Amino acid sequence: MSKLRSSSLKFAKSLLLYGVIAASSATAAVFTTAKLMPTTAQSPASGSGRLLTGSSFIASVADQVGPAVVRIDSARTVTRRSGPLNDPFFREFFGDMWEQPSSRVERGQGSGFVVEADGVIWTNAHVVEGADTVTVTLKDGREFSGEVVGEDPLTDVAVIKVQAEDLPTVTLGNSDQLRPGEWAIAIGNPLGLDNTVTAGIVSATGRTSAQIRVPDKRVQFIQTDAAINPGNSGGPLLSERGEVIGINTAIIGGAQGLGFAIPINSAKRLAQELIEKGRVDHAYLGIQMRTLTSDLRQQLNRDPRTDVRLSTDEGVIILGLMRNAPAVEAGLEVGDVIVSMNGRSITDAEQVQQIVQGIGVGEVIALEIDRGGRQVSIDVETKALPQQRR
């Protein structure tokens, strides 16, 4: 599997991971332009069929929303110990006695947008990950010191607060009503070029994390061909009415016209939980799974290293279990094949993830399991996914 580069705020590191580039940082200079439709005398009021006349609605959206889009600069200090005797042979005798602590400051940059006039700002979690300091700069040049209220790496949403009043704000739209072909406008700070405006369309909705090669994420994405580059992370994706429909977050490395945004309806729920608790609790089962196929069934049945013997080639097979996870407590076993969840037939691993991420912590999921040809019913009570230490 290819690796994805989280361009920003892995703090100026070019970390390649899953082949997807988190759209933040400012390490190069590239000029991007908005896509313009041909001018015509006919001008429908709205929709993707709307054609430009003498006055550009894209320019109007930029004028309306641009003041509420911010640049976010973050920095963290990384300390490590180093010394002249790094050779293991010498360290065996002298230990760490000559080691001296050394530190460096790692910096990153992204975008964000003001949601409340008293200084509440939404952005991506990777824009502020591990930051010691956060500086927020408005289009009019004002700078504020920002505090990270909460961040959720699993969905890549974060909330920042600055001490201010009467800031310009955005209007939130409804991402559930989006259709492919509608206009999409992005405003952000790609590659350090503040308040850059690009435009295109909504290319698709409901893209899963696996489809865009970030299977560890717990969110579905809006796909757009509006130009998104490193530094756009955390900025708004807008409708033709100037309403925020998503948070720009990633692009696929090596591709053109493939940008992805977190739907704003999902971001609303996540941001509210971050404001209330400083974290987001995600339900989990604690299983390693894979979509079962005929070829996989034959491969597992022939493997002398396992006791797994499968009689079905449809469902989702459990290949591993996390210690002390809800799945273990409920009695699930390696080799079990999930064929139904809450009465819904299961044929793909993504279905399992979507069902789990759509329910709350402490809720019960009714599973139908194929266990060596026997049908077994098991109820699993979800727990909150343990928070990773940083």
3-state secondary structure of 68: helix
Question: Is 152 noted as a catalytic residue in this protein?
Answer: no
Residue in 126, 175, 194, 209 annotated catalytic: 126
Question: Is 282 noted as a catalytic residue in this protein?
Answer: no
Q: Is residue 312 within 8 Å of residue 290, measured between CB atoms?
A: no
Tokens representing 283?
A: 């339900």
Contact residues for 178 (Cβ-Cβ < 8 A; gap 6+): 202, 205, 222, 245, 263
Terminal Cα distance for the chain, rounded: 25
Identify the residue whose tokens are 């009503």: 177
> Looking at this protein, which amino acid is placed at residue 147?
E
Q: Where are the beta strands (DSSP E) in 227-363?
A: 236-238, 243-252, 259-263, 283-284, 287-291, 316-321, 337-341, 344-345
Contact residues for 28 (Cβ-Cβ < 8 A; gap 6+): 191, 230
Question: Is 43 noted as a catalytic residue in this protein?
Answer: no
Q: What is the 3-state secondary structure (H, E, C) of 242-262?
A: CEEEEEEEEEECCCCCCEEEE
Q: Is residue 291 within 8 Å of residue 176, measured between CB atoms?
A: no
Residue in 73, 156, 194, 370 annotated catalytic: 156
Residue in 7, 233, 239, 266 annotated catalytic: 233
Q: Is residue 69 within 8 Å of residue 198, measured between CB atoms?
A: no
Catalytic residues, by residue number, are 126, 156, 233
